[in-house]
Amino acid sequence: MSKRTNSASNGSAPKTGVTEEPSYNKQKDLLSSSTGHFSLLKALHMADYITELNGFCGIMSVFSSLRYCLGDPADKNNLYLALAFLPFGLFFDFMDGRVARWRKKSSMMGQELDSLADLISFGLAPACVAFSIGLRTTLDHILLAVFVLCGLTRLARFNVTASSGAVPKDAAGKAAYFEGTPIPTTLGIDALMAWWVSRGWVLDQVPGGVWFAGSALEVHPIVGLFLVHGCLMCSKSLHVPKP
């Protein structure tokens, strides 16, 4: 969920009485430049690099899940590592907005980076962990894909509504509430999966067992947690106050 949308709606500086900063003009020039091998890196603000660390945590979580699938099922270290990266992703997701406000530098680039990093860390990575612990039937895969797509849709909607002003703003110029649950709330499911791993409830011991075993509809009912959470993220009527 992007917390750096104050100025992204019209390409101007944050609505705090601060005039447009030269650094933001520099970013626009660098992004539109056709020369310079490192112009993109020069265009990124400090907050953008922190956002990249959020994405890094999500990617490393995915890789750790893959390493577990390729290794000894009894060795759960990679599962723990996959889950441990995700709270760090939340930390960097929180810090990028703080740094952007502290330095009074925000941009469309930062807004898009924030949403893309959130999709990896709080959408794709938890789905990969769920696959690793045992949700591996065809129907499991479809429902986990729906969950990730719900996160994708929720983040796209947030960017559009924040930029267009469709959501009421508070005194600071930020959206007054979230439409649907923010995607980082997936960490609640991550914590639950960490508990399952600690109890050894993985693979054929996944809580709830499996329904319709051996048929085309074989599914682990616990995947419903992801489906419900995906629906909550996409809800239009659920308004979650911003902290």
pLDDT of res. 171: 62
Element (H, E) at 182: none
Q: How confident is the model over 197-218, as pLDDT tens digits?
A: 999 999 999 999 999 999 999 9
pLDDT of res. 158: 85
pLDDT of res. 117: 96
| Opening angle at CA 114, ends 133 and 191, nearest 5 | 30
Report the predicted TM-score, pTM, of the whole model to 2 decimal places: 0.82
Contacts of 37 (CB under 8 A, 6+ apart): none
Contacts of 203 (CB under 8 A, 6+ apart): 73, 133, 134
* Spans in the chain with pLDDT lower than 50: 6-24
Element (H, E) at 239: strand 239-241
Does domain 22-241 sit in CATH 1.10.1840.10? Answer: no
Q: How confident is the model over 62-90, as pLDDT tens digits?
A: 999 999 999 999 999 999 999 999 999 99
Radius of gyration (C-alpha) of the chain in whole angstroms: 20
Burial of residue 38 (number of CB atoms within 10 Å: 0-12, 13-18, 19+): exposed
pLDDT of res. 45: 77
Element (H, E) at 80: helix 77-103
pLDDT of res. 16: 40
| Sign of the four-CA dihedral 233, 125, 105, 33 | negative
pLDDT of res. 227: 97
Domain boundaries, the chain: 22-241
